[in-house]
Each structure stands twice: as structure tokens, then as C-alpha cells.
Structure 1
Amino acid sequence: MPDQPATDDILGLGFGPANLSLAIALRDAVAAGPPRPSFRFIERQERFGWHRAMMLPGADMQISFVKDLVSLRDPTSPFSFLNYLHTKGRLTTFLNLKTFNPSRIEYNDYLSWAAEHFSDVVAYGETVVAVHPELRDGRLAAFVVEARDGAGAPRLRRCRHLVVAAGGDPAIPEPFAALRGDPRLIHSSAYLPGIAKALGAPRLDGPEPRLLVVGGGQSAVEIVTDLGQRYPRARIDLAIRAPALKPADDSPFVNEIFDPAAVDLVHGAPEPVRADLIAAHRATNYAVVDADLIQSFYATLYDQEVRGETRYRLRRNTRVTALTATPDGLDATLHDAVAGSQDRQVYAAVICATGYARATVPAILDPVRPFLAGEVADRHYRLPLDPAEARVSLHLQGFSEPTHGLTETLLSILPVRAGAIARTILAEERAARSAIRPAAMHQ
């Protein structure tokens, strides 16, 4: 490792939509005048990409394009989705679609277009291993980020302000844990490359692969639909714990939980009330499916009943209680809680649309835990540090749902959150630099 790590004032871990929005906010702030801190981001992917493994044909965004990287903070920004359309020459044709919801493929292209403007401040292909404290007189003075590039070579980077937006870890149900690494067990985050590796190209002859999708949310039904189209001979089971697929509640009053003001509402409430608020709105985001997709899937099941086919099965009230690898596939034990019955089925592949797990504090921060005064981020997404120098801060994006609400892991208020973090860091820098000047004048 080099003795002297590269130094920036601000370092962001991860360069997905959250830290991309922060990059824009920082660039705007720097352009507005001093202070002008330097900033850089570390991203493990070799190039920018947002949920590339779920770029399914016909899949649309579930939020309005107005909730892009910047518009809620600055609707005049050149990084808006509308300006992206204008730049690409598609503004009028997009308007003719009469929709607020672009396709997922187009939105990923928008994000990639915005990310290209920051290629000079992003270190792609680097995986963060840990964050270490740098001390001065026993106080936390800086962070040293240990990473490795694609060839395994070590990289050290140093900063005083750290923003972690590394995303969640794929959640794999406990009965499947022993099969992590088996290519026939696929999480939705790796769906497209994973299913191609497990099954290969679609075939019109040979055996009919039997496939299992686990999960009761949007991704699960999208994957079932895609599997049926991608592999016309496949037989597909969808196992859900609930008695029915549930529609996402996107009605106006309920949808206000995704407004920027809702963060103040949740954060300012007593802890038990926060939990109740989040639980009361879970039907907006967790284990729910767009109503149009539910209607389409129901029609598919009805159509096969008319035809006397059984390509798709919705296995309600069902848990997979065991999963075993065999030469012929993955042997699943499925328990129907209502019927009290249990059966076994061998599947060519099992796809887990089971979401993501997020720790309150990411494990990569373990070396700095002794310097945390608590593990709950404040209103400005900042973890309390003690003892620390004045110009040191640690922010989290995407890890504070229990205190900041359902917007925390979603795209809804990215620019507002990014603006708050940028303002907080710049205020600290401004105050610290102002304190230095009088001291220097008296020396």
C-alpha cells in the first residue's frame, strides 16, 4: 500500500443515483462560490449502471420523471430528465406518450448520461474493503478508505467528509443460505445474467424447465412474466407467503409519505410513532405490485385455465422451508400454511425476489465504530462522532429508514437529501475555515 493515500475533502462510497445526485449538488455549490472542497467517488462497478440485471422489456418506472436527480431541488438544472430528453432529441416524442413514467431502460440511460459528466471524479472498478480512522492527538481527524481495484491491487484514499451510499445487500432467505454461490440460485439483483448462465439460450425442443420465483412484490411478478416470454417452454411457480398479490397503494393522500416534508414528520415523531407511521404506509412499497401488472398476470392465469394449460402456478400462503442442491436441480420443500400441506419439487433454477438487507451502520465502518457517539443519523443524515475534529463528518444515504421514513431507500427525494448533505458539509467547511483565519492573523 502507498504510504501517503490520495486526499480529497469529500469522498463518496458508491456511485449510484444517491451519490450521483450528491455530485450534482456539490458541483452546484462549488460553482456558487467558496468554499470549494474537492470531492471524489468510489464505485465497484466498472462503469455506471443502475439495476442493469432488471432492465426487462416493458418495465416502467413507478415514480414520476419529475422526481429525477435534481428537479425537486432545482427545476432549472441542466441535469433534469427533461433536459436529458431535449439533449437526446426526444422531448416532443416523449410528450406524445402522455406518461409521467418512463421505461426503466430509458431511466437508466438518463442516469448514465448524467454520470458521464462526472467521469473525472469517479474511481470505477474499486471495491471498498474498510474505512479506517486517522487520529490526531487522540481525536478523529480523517478517514482512510481501503479499497482494491479489479486486479486486486490495494488503493488508499483519504478524506475528512465521508458519504456512504453503498446500497443494500441482496437478501437471501435463511433456508437458501447454504446454497449461496450455486448458479441455479439467483437473486433478482443478478436476474438477467444469472438466468442466462443457469438455463442458457431459450430452446424450442428438449425438456421443459421448471422454475420457481420466491417473493410477493413487483420484481417477483415482473420476473415471472419475463421468464414466461423468455423461455416459452418453461413451467413457472410463484411462491408467496400472503393469500393474494396485493396492489401498491399510490393514492394521493397516501403518496404524501414520499414528499420531502414527510421526512420532517417522521424524524420529528417519537420513536414508537415513527414505527407506526412507517408500518401504516408499507403497502406503498413493500410486497406490493402495480395494479396493472396484477391485472395482466391474473388475465394470464385465467387464459391458461381456458386453454387447459398449467404453465404458471401461483402458490399462495407458501413458504420454501428447505432447498437442497441435486445434480438435476434445486430440490425445494414447499409448505402451504393454510392447507397444512407440504410437497417437494425439483427446479432448474430458483429466483429470489426477496429484496435487500440494510444494516443501520454498514460493516465497512466497523473500524470507526469506537468513534461513533451513536448509530442513529441526525436529521441531516450525519452520524454523531466523538471525539472528532471540527472538519470531519460521516453521512449515510439509504440506511436510515427507521428514523427518516420510506423515502430513505427510494428515488423519491434524492435531490432534496443530497442538497441537505451538501449544505451541511459546506457549512462545516465554511465555519472551520473562518475560525482558522483569525488564528492565523494573530500568529
Structure 2
Amino acid sequence: MEQRKILDVIGVGIGPFNLGLAALLEKTDCTFMCFEQKSKFDWHPGMLLEGTTLQVPFMADLVTMVDPTSPYSFLNYLHEHERLYQFYFFEKFQIPRNEYNHYCQWVADRLNSLQFNSEVKQIKAHTEGKTYFEVSVQQGDIIKSYYCHHVVLGVGTKPVIPKDFQSLQNEQLYHSSQYKMKREKTLQAKSITVIGSGQSAAEIVFDLLQQQNEKNYELSWYTRSKGFYPMEYSKLGLEHFSPDYTRYFYQLEHEKKQRVLKNQALLYKGISFKTISDIYELIYERTIGGEKCPITMRALTELTEIERIEDSHELTLYQYEQEVFQKTVSDVVIMATGYQSSFPSFLNGMKDELQFDEQCQLKIDEQYRVKTSIEGASLFVQNGELHTHGVGAPDLGLGAYRNAVIINQIVGKEVYKLYNRTVFQQFGLKE
């Protein structure tokens, strides 16, 4: 039998979470490689608009919350780029989104464990003797196999357009994740409609409002939500994005978790106060002297049908409290309809070894390990555990913590210190 080099860890996908994993693993003796099908690190490139910021403080970088002395911290990035004094005078916790992306690219360039242009095609477990995984990776025209004891999935979520409208996608009907790439052509339209009421929708609306006087298009904004509400950003509300709340949520019964999540949308799906204020103030200024409101905004309004008409779209809207339908026409339709995780196709060959719940979602233990019938090798998940660990799953501020939990499990000792108490409030009556 050929002698195979078996790595300790292989990561699949290079977003912020697996990039943080790679940076934090530098303190260990673990052998590690991470694969990404894209050509470089690029974080939500379609929404890297000028003036937009992270919705979390700069301390939610790749490493600081578990290793503030790391050379891969955001502050060290500033130091290396001779920007510490400028940032000091900037006096803001939320940094520009473009700078966060550039920071992550800087970290990626310093790590030798990352391989881009590398698409993982299949993962399978070998259980003869000592258990290990075989990861098949397409790199150019070649498919090569790599072997490891542990796999960390960091493939993230994918843009979602409602199923009824997916076949209509084109240059004039697209997901908000493509906005920056399609922006110039969009600005040439006579009418533009944005669907959705999250942060992405609001940022696009504000950008379009700023260009409207020059380009002279009609602008509409519809959402089926009850209003254009702000995201919960009070200090005690933010404590839901903590290890303490994650531990509390994990111990709840499965059915209760689903009910709780349905009532927590505004913890992570609303609009920042600043963006709402920016939009309102611009509209207020545009309507001085009795000028017509530059935008049509309607909540409680669901998009039920789209019909392609020559170079435009006829939209059927339903106001579900009044139970009234209305039709309108729009050249461009931007679907800010969110993201969701999906089961990776490269795990299809392992389905019989993985455990699923009643909703066909992966069962995941408290240490972010997928429950399987495999012994001696672990499959970990990053940002695919909303249903088991709660609203903090996609939050950048918990990324370093989750990576520390995973690394401590892999190494078998406390490489990174984890606190027992991280918030002031208590979420339950029992530990």
C-alpha cells in the first residue's frame, strides 16, 4: 500500500471563518491546507460599496477575540500599513467594508496553507485501520487527492432568489450580491425596484437615491416584512452574539430552537440606524418645497409574480393586510432576498455516514462537529449551524471563538483560552 501523507486538518472554502482558522492554526504544530474554488479572497464583492461599513466592531477580525496578540489582527494590519494614527483619529468602531476585505486579503497573502483555484469535488472517509478523510480537489485539469484526520467546512451561505423567479434571472433581474458588478448598467434604466428590507437592500436603495437626480429613474422599494425596521443594536441585545447565549441556545429542545429563531429576525436581519437615517434625511431634503417623494416605499407587500415584457418586467404585488393586488412595471429588479446554507454536493457520497434531523439538516454537536457514524476523524462546520447554535452562527464576532473551540478539540488541549462568562445577563435559570 502506498504511503500517504495525512494532514491534521483540511479546510474547505476560504471565507472569513476558515481564513481565521488558518491564521489561528499558525500557533500549533498542525499540518493544514485549505481549498477555495475562487481565484482569490473577495468578501461579498457585489456589496463593497463606498461608504458602507461592517456592522460589528473592528475587534471582530479574524483572531483578536481569542488572541489579541496575534500578528494577524486588524490593528497589526493597520500598523503594517502605517495607518494606526489615521485609524486613531478616525474614531469609529465599525470600519469600512472595503478595508475589512483588504485586511482579509492581506492575511491570506501571508499564509502558505491556502490554495485558491481549487474546487473540492468529493470527500469520503476511509475506515480501514486508522480513520481518515480523502478530499478530491480539482486544480486546473487535474483532480488530486489529499488526506487528513479532520475536515472543517467553511463554504458559507449562497445567495437566494425565490424559486418562482429563479428562471427569470438576467442582467436586469438579479440578486443583490451582484449589485456592484451590474451597477453601471442598472443606473441606465428608467425604473428600478428593490425587493427586501435587510441591510443590503437599504444600502442599495441609498446608493440609488444618491444617483437618482443625475440619472432620472423611478425608484421603488418593497418588502413583505411589517416595516423598514432597524436591526437590534442595544448593548444587552448584542449579548445574544456571545458564547454564553450560544451555550444556552444549544441546550434548548429542537422544536423550541426553531420557534426562537423565528422571533429573532431583527437581531440580524434589520437595517442599521445609520442607514435608515441616511435614507430618511436624503428623502427629506429632496422633498423641500413640495417636491414629489423620490421613492415609492411599501412594507407588508409581497412580490407574487413577475412577467417579462420586452425589456422590462411586470410585477404583481400583494398587500396582505388589505388583501389587495397591484401591478407595476420596472426595468430592473434587484432581489435583496438573503442567503441560506445548503448541503454541499461534495458530501453526497457520505450521506449514509452523516446524521440528519427531522428537517434534513445536519446534526451538529456543541463543539461544531457533525454527528456521524465515523470514529476517529471529525467533520466540523463553520456558519452552517444556525439551527443548532443560534443567531451567532454567521456573526463575524463569534468566528474566532468558534475556531478556538474547533482547534482545541483537534489538538486535544487548550491552545486558546475560552471564558466561562462573557456577558452580564443570564439567559436561563439553570446552567
Superposition TM-score tier, normalisation by shorter sequence = 0.7 to 0.9
Amino acid at match of 1:73: V
Match of 1:69 among 59, 62, 68: 62
Match of 1:315 among 276, 295, 298: 298
Aligned-partner Cα distance in 2 for 1:89–1:105? 17
Cα offset for 1:10?
1.2
- Deviates most, 164-173 or 318-327: 318-327
- Deviates most, 40-49 or 230-239: 230-239
In the alignment, is the contact (CA less than 8 A) between 1:218 and 1:289 conserved in 2?
A: yes
In the alignment, is the contact (CA less than 8 A) between 2:355 and 2:363 conserved in 1?
A: no
Aligned-partner Cα distance in 1 for 2:125–2:307? 43
Amino acid at match of 1:13: V
Cα offset for 1:175?
2.6
Instruction: Mark the CA change 1:293 to 1:158 in structure 2 (over 3 Å): closer, same or farther.
Output: same
Aligned-partner Cα distance in 2 for 1:81–1:218? 24
In the alignment, is the contact (CA less than 8 A) between 1:383 and 1:396 conserved in 2?
A: yes
Instruction: Give the equivalent residue in structure 1 for 2:265.
Output: 282
Aligned-partner Cα distance in 2 for 1:331–1:356? 25
Instruction: Mark the CA change 1:154 to 1:330 in structure 2 (over 3 Å): closer, same or farther.
Output: farther
Cα offset for 1:131?
2.1
Instruction: Give the equivalent residue in structure 2 for 1:147.
Output: 137
Aligned-partner Cα distance in 2 for 1:6–1:175? 47
Aligned-partner Cα distance in 1 for 2:210–2:279? 13
In the alignment, is the contact (CA less than 8 A) between 2:206 and 2:278 conserved in 1?
A: no
2:325 match: secondary structure: strand
Match of 2:225 among 242, 247, 264: 242
Amino acid at match of 2:275: L
1:21 match: secondary structure: helix
In the alignment, is the contact (CA less than 8 A) between 2:65 and 2:397 conserved in 1?
A: no
Instruction: Give the equivalent residue in structure 2 for 1:252.
Output: 235
Aligned-partner Cα distance in 2 for 1:303–1:144? 61
TM-score, with structure 2 as normaliser: 0.87
Cα offset for 1:5?
8.7
Aligned-partner Cα distance in 2 for 1:417–1:373? 21
1:427 has 2:412 as partner: yes
**Residue deviations 1:382-431 (CA, integer Å, cap 9, x gap):** 0122143x2x1100101111211111112021111111111111229x9x
**Residue deviations 1:251-275 (CA, integer Å, cap 9, x gap):** 1111111122221111123334434
Instruction: Give the equivalent residue in structure 1 for 2:273.
Output: 291
Aligned-partner Cα distance in 1 for 2:341–2:83? 37
In the alignment, is the contact (CA less than 8 A) between 2:224 and 2:302 conserved in 1?
A: yes
Cα offset for 1:11?
0.8
Q: How does 1:198-209 map to 2 (within 5 A)?
A: 198-199=185-186, 209=190
- Deviates most, 413-422 or 293-302: 293-302
Aligned-partner Cα distance in 2 for 1:152–1:331? 44
Instruction: Give the equivalent residue in structure 1 for 2:117.
Output: 125
Match of 2:165 among 176, 180, 201: 176
Q: How does 1:327-346 map to 2 (within 5 A)?
A: 327-346=310-329
1:187 has 2:178 as partner: no
1:410 has 2:411 as partner: no
In the alignment, is the contact (CA less than 8 A) between 1:328 and 1:346 conserved in 2?
A: no
- Number of aligned residues: 405
Instruction: Give the equivalent residue in structure 2 for 1:157.
Output: 146
Cα offset for 1:314?
0.6
Aligned-partner Cα distance in 1 for 2:349–2:168? 30
Cα offset for 1:166?
0.2
1:383 match: secondary structure: coil
Amino acid at match of 1:217: G
- Deviates most, 267-276 or 312-321: 267-276
Instruction: Mark the CA change 1:6 to 1:211 in structure 2 (over 3 Å): closer, same or farther.
Output: farther
1:412 match: secondary structure: helix
Instruction: Give the equivalent residue in structure 2 for 1:435.
Output: none
Amino acid at match of 1:147: V
Segments of structure 1 that go 5 or more residues without pairing to the other structure are: 31-36, 431-443
* Structure 1 vs Structure 2 CA RMSD: 2.4
Match of 2:246 among 248, 251, 263: 263
Amino acid at match of 2:26: R
**Residue deviations 1:202-248 (CA, integer Å, cap 9, x gap):** 56xxxx52111111111101011112334532221111113421111
Amino acid at match of 1:69: L
Cα offset for 1:153?
4.3
1:369 has 2:357 as partner: no
Aligned-partner Cα distance in 1 for 2:196–2:137? 34
- Deviates most, 349-358 or 363-372: 363-372
Aligned-partner Cα distance in 2 for 1:179–1:141? 46
